[in-house]
Chains A and B, each alone.
Chain A
Amino acid sequence: MKRKYAVAAIATAAALVLAGCSSTGDAADDGSAEGQDITLWLMGGDTPDALRDYLKSEYADATGGTLTIEEQGWGDAVAKLTTALPDAANTPDVTEIGNTWSPTFTNAGAFTDLSDMYEELGGDKLLKSFVEVGEVDGAQYALPYYFGSRYNFYRKDVWAAAGKEVPTTLAEFGDTVKALRTDSQSGFYLGGSDWRNGISWIFANGGELAVKDGDEWVGALSSDESVEGLEQFQELFTGASNAPVTEFDSTPWVNINDNDATGKPEAATIIAPGWAHWSIGDLAPDPADATKTVATWNDDVFGTFVLPGVDGGVAPVFAGGSNIAVSAASENQAGAKELVKIIFSEEYQTMLGENGLGPANLDYASSLGDDQFAKALIESAAGSKLTPAAPGWAAVEGAGILEEFFGKVSGGGDVAELAAEYDEKLDKLLN
């Protein structure tokens, strides 16, 4: 939680002056990375401290320069990227960027073309869906950084008491969790506006959020497949979840643990990103600090399974994660590329995996380990899907349109009508 870096960012500014003033990124390509001091922006606290330290020391070894890492809050990142990336004097040289925002910034010309390094960095072994969102006209700008995907956590005790088995199809899943719902317990705890999970039902039924029609992106919420999926989602939410319709991106794992007051969980099942497993388990005071609570995973009580598809198999869930890119305005292109090489090195990729983050290079996916969490992550990631690679996708997210749409669907609105209405809203923003 507290990762603050006592590093002087002013050093970056000084370095810019020393590096000379070439206004185009390409011109600096021929320059040497030697002694370039660069800045890396990381989003949120997902990259552990050990990895940050590794990047800094590797970068110093490789170039003799200093790497400054600045952490940006997810909530404010778009505003900051929008202002800083075009500004040569203050841009981060390398930045992590939410995978779904990549098309917007890539299309705007915010990033440096990394096509010439693509093969060297891993080429076809890099996670394809993430590569695609950073691609314009066949050139590679933003590359995958790490991925995570969502799978289900369930209470074995609650399921067993009700005589339920792990489902194999999406319909079976829906029926099971609906049967498990009581007034004080959600069969499946899902926020009504939680579109990042909700879209799995669209994807599972073969629907899309938006499709490319010629040169234009258009909303596809009202396609038959999407409506089918949305109706299933609506039925599931009303029948199985006690969460408010407005809840989005919640912290559902608090509901699957035993509640302090009642000694019972409030949810029999949740869907959450893989790292949530650190927060799930039997609760007890932290031996190191009695004011805190730690959760210890208990295989007898808790279990995992991936969301099943319509006809069995694995449902395509939302692929969470980030991309990484070099700022086109950066005057330290050589240093920035050096850092990108370090990030795509076997050693760093392995470190990502060991920390539960899906490595960009799938050759190193085995570093995730072979426990049930790693297996569920890899299995769910295999079928996972990303939001459309439309230039205006960040605008769609920024405007909160999907939260609003899913909230209305959860609230019991007419799915077909709503889908048509929101397709129109998407059309305005996508291109």
Chain B
Amino acid sequence: MTDTISRDVTAAAPAATTKSARTPDVTRRRISVPHLLLIPAIAILLIGMGYPLVWQIVTSMQEFGIQQQFGKPADFVGLQNYLTLATDPTMWQVVGRSLLFCFITAALTLIVGILLAVLMTAVGRTARLTLQISLLLAWAMPVVAAMTVWIWLFDDRRGVVNYLLDMIPGVDMNRFSWLSNPLTFFIVASVIVIWMSVPFVAFSAYAGLTQVSDEVLEAAQLDGANGAKRLRYIILPMIRPVIMIVLLLQLIWDLRVFTQITMLQDAGSKAGEFDLLGTYIYKLGAGSQDFGMASAVSIFVLALTLAISWFYVRSLLKEDEQP
């Protein structure tokens, strides 16, 4: 599937550009087809993200607070904001917490999603459709709506979760306040994020699995490979491209998860030990009006994301280098 990526072939370009697409020639002087194709995407990125990105970089090197927002000239402070961050233990706690949350949540999401996809291929039509529809409904829930329901489910007084857990003999969960303690707070957050993200992973993996041919699996089975081995040596490698991109997306999303955490904080606690990077930036910027620092953290998060997704970037660039 992926081996066609790097083939230097004639384009499947849309009608408007077909003529010139016939003989792609990189060294040609006039604007080439691929450049034309990229123009809209580049233009919208420059318009929509270019200025904010530049502003962010510039601001991260300024002392920019509410006074500056109201017109006072901002002092250029070079890398001072970054230095302040680097020496701030709170910042590193947030980074550590965010990375932990991100890795655990992304890994669980991926595992559960792939297992559900495998389950879909293993059961009959009715069971598969039921599972797919319920995942689809969960996926369709708007985040704000979903958060509202979840917060209520985990409510310490009238929450169904406590009510059901309390019914188990020997378990006293009456009035258990899930959102008061960082550990249970992040467990709840993780459960919610996994619940929301698994459908996307499961559907993507399922789409990948339908591409795995039955013959290969049957052959492997006849050769004595058990279920786990088939999964490990045949299925996973074959859906690897899908998994890679899904993993990348989950890592990026989970690292800077914002809406879920900020809504849980509204319901629970706003204290610093409940912050992840997303809410930390928001508190610095919108909350404390320290836009210089907020920008510096944003740029740092950009670098951090790049670092943890390096595995993907590298494999992409490698793919590119192949003849």
Judged by CB atoms under 8 Å, the answer to whether A and B touch is yes
Binding site for B on A (CB under 8 A): 75, 78-79, 82, 85-86, 104-105, 107-110, 193, 242, 244-248, 394-400, 403-404, 407-408, 429
Among candidates A85, A394, A407, A429, residue contacting B269 with C-beta atoms closer than 8 Å:
A407
Complex alpha-carbon distance, A86 and B290, angstroms: 16
User: B67, A395: Cβ atoms under 8 Å?
Assistant: no
- How many B residues face the partner with a CB closer than 8 A? 26
> A75 and B67: CB pair below 8 A?
no
The answer to whether B66 and A105 have CB atoms under 8 Å apart is yes
When the two chains form their complex, are residues B271 and A394 in contact, meaning their CB atoms are under 8 A apart?
no
27 A–B contact pairs at CB < 8 A? A75-B266, A85-B70, A104-B289, A108-B66, A108-B70, A109-B67, A109-B71, A110-B70, A193-B269, A193-B270, A244-B179, A246-B177, A246-B179, A246-B180, A246-B268, A248-B269, A397-B287, A398-B286, A398-B288, A398-B289, A399-B283, A399-B287, A400-B270, A403-B269, A404-B271, A404-B273, A429-B288
Residues in B whose Cβ lies below 8 Å from that of A400 = 270-272, 283, 287
Closest to A76 in B: B286
CB closest residue in chain B, given A395: B288
Distance (Å) between the CB of B166 and the closest chain A CB? 13
Name the A residues within 8 Å of B288 (CB-CB): 395-396, 398-399, 429
Task: List A contacts of B175 (CB < 8 A).
Answer: 242
Alpha-carbon gap, A248 to B67, bound state (A): 29
Bound state CA distance, A400 and B274, in angstroms? 11
List chain B residues, Cβ under 8 A from A109: 67, 70-72
Q: Which residue of B lies closest to A79 (CB)?
A: B286
For the complex, give the distance between the alpha carbons of A407 and B273 in Å. 11
Instruction: Verify B272–A395 contact, CB threshold 8 A.
Output: no
The answer to whether B254 has its CB under 8 Å from any CB of chain A is no
What separation, in Å, do the CA atoms of A398 and B289 have in the docked complex? 8
Taking a contact as CB atoms under 8 Å apart, the answer to whether B180 and A244 are in contact is yes
Interface of B with A (CB < 8 Å)? Answer: 65-67, 69-72, 156, 175, 177, 179-180, 266, 268-273, 283-284, 286-290
Other CB < 8 Å A-B pairs besides A109-B70, A109-B71, A395-B66, 6 of them?
A78-B287, A82-B286, A244-B156, A247-B180, A404-B273, A407-B269
Q: Which residue of B lies closest to A255 (CB)?
A: B157
Q: B65, B72, B180, B273: which has the most chain A beta carbons within 10 Å?
A: B180
Distance between Cα atoms of A86 and B284 in the complex (Å):
20
Query: A248 and B270: CB pair below 8 A?
Result: yes
Query: Which residues on B sit within 8 Å (CB–CB) of A82?
Result: 66, 69, 286, 289
Q: In chain B, what residue has the closest Cβ to A400?
A: B270
- CB < 8 Å: which of B67, B177, B180 contacts A107? B67
Identify which of B65, B72, B156, B287 gathers the most chain A CB atoms within 10 Å of its CB. Answer: B287
A155 → chain B closest CB, angstroms: 19
* CA–CA, A246 and B69, complex, Å: 33
Find out whether the CB atom of A245 lies under 8 angstroms from the CB atom of B180: yes
A408 to B273, CA, bound (A): 11
Q: Given A85, A108, A244, which contacts B177 in the complex, CB threshold below 8 Å?
A: A244
List B contacts of A86 (CB < 8 A): 69-71
A244 to B184 alpha-carbon distance, docked (Å): 14
Partner of A404 from B65, B268, B270, B284 at Cβ < 8 Å: B270
A254, closest chain B residue (CB): B157
Closest chain-A Cβ to B106's Cβ sits at a distance in Å of: 27
* A408–B290 alpha-carbon span in the complex (Å): 25
Minimum C-beta distance from B177 to chain A (A) = 4
